[in-house]
Amino acid sequence: MRKRKVHLILSALLTAIGVLLAAFKIVHDSEPGLIPLVLIALGVAWHVTARRRFPSKTTDPGQ
């Protein structure tokens, strides 16, 4: 459970950094640039992978 939380927090942080950097680059250069887009894509991919690799321990059959 703790490992899952760490992965989800770090992936969300990576995605947030990518979004903030993209917003800054759009305001400053009028284009997002490659690095922020890669950070966003890696963060989302990491989040999806972490959710599949470390499923939650709920017993709800609806999930």
d(CA 9, CA 58): 19
pTM to 2 decimal places: 0.79
Do residues 10 and 46 touch, judged by C-beta distance below 8 A? yes
Whole-number Å distance between alpha carbons of 35 and 62: 38
6-63 pLDDT, tens digit each: 999 999 999 999 999 999 999 999 988 899 999 999 999 999 999 888 877 765 555 5
pLDDT reported for residue 38: 96
- Predicted confidence band at 3 (pLDDT cuts at 50, 70, 90)? confident
- The rounded distance, in Å, linking the Cα atoms of 27 and 34 is 15
Residues 37, 47: Cα–Cα separation, whole Å: 15
